[in-house]
Amino acid sequence: MGVKRPANYSTQQGRLILGYLASLEDRHVTVSQIVQYFRKQKIPIGQTTVYRHLEKLYNSGTIHRYALSDGGACYQYVRDDRPCQEHFHLKCEKCGDLIHLECDLLEEIQNHVYKKHDFQIDALKTVFYGICGRCIAGR
């Protein structure tokens, strides 16, 4: 089953939000970051509108939503060539980056948990928190 895409994202604001998310490559953003981006571009898109469009995009499978430790969420455009269900994520608590983690050892752990403990880990919802190398180095 492939990723569902909305056939026609009907409003100008919806198309702008979708275009912005798609332009971010693998980066993840929060609602406030999206609102700030459009504010800097002098494009009036309010927070409620962003939430409404993100919900539509999430329900259609066009974006992923990740729960954050503070109760909020961040969003990422789904690229057909890089499905997030196949890898875990690292979240930098300093700069906020969400990093894709493809690691054979974690795949082994995931397989072990399934075989020995009859439990399947959802990689899409699994996030490890810490500090990224750039922030450790002070860059």
CATH number of the domain enclosing 14: 1.10.10.10
In a domain, 23, yes or no: yes
Query: For residue 35, what pLDDT is reported?
Result: 96
Structural domain span for residue 61: 10-79
Query: For residue 81, what pLDDT is reported?
Result: 53
The one-digit pLDDT tens for each residue of the chain (139 residues) are 444 454 445 789 999 999 999 998 778 889 999 999 999 999 999 999 999 999 999 898 888 887 776 778 888 888 765 555 567 888 888 887 778 787 889 889 999 999 999 999 888 778 888 999 989 998 7
Q: Does residue 116 share a domain with residue 55? A: no
Number of domains forming the structure of the chain: 2
In a domain, 31, yes or no: yes
Q: Does residue 54 share a domain with residue 17? A: yes
Q: Does residue 113 share a domain with residue 59? A: no
Q: Does residue 88 share a domain with residue 47? A: no
Residue that finishes a domain, picked among 31, 51, 79? 79
Predicted TM-score of the model (pTM): 0.64
Pick from 70, 139, 133, 122: nearest CA to 99? 133
Residue that finishes a domain, picked among 38, 58, 79? 79
Structure token digits, residue 81: 């060539």
Q: How many CB atoms lie within 10 A of CB 92?
A: 17
CATH at 90: 3.30.1490.190
Pick from 120, 125, 3, 131: nearest CA to 66? 125
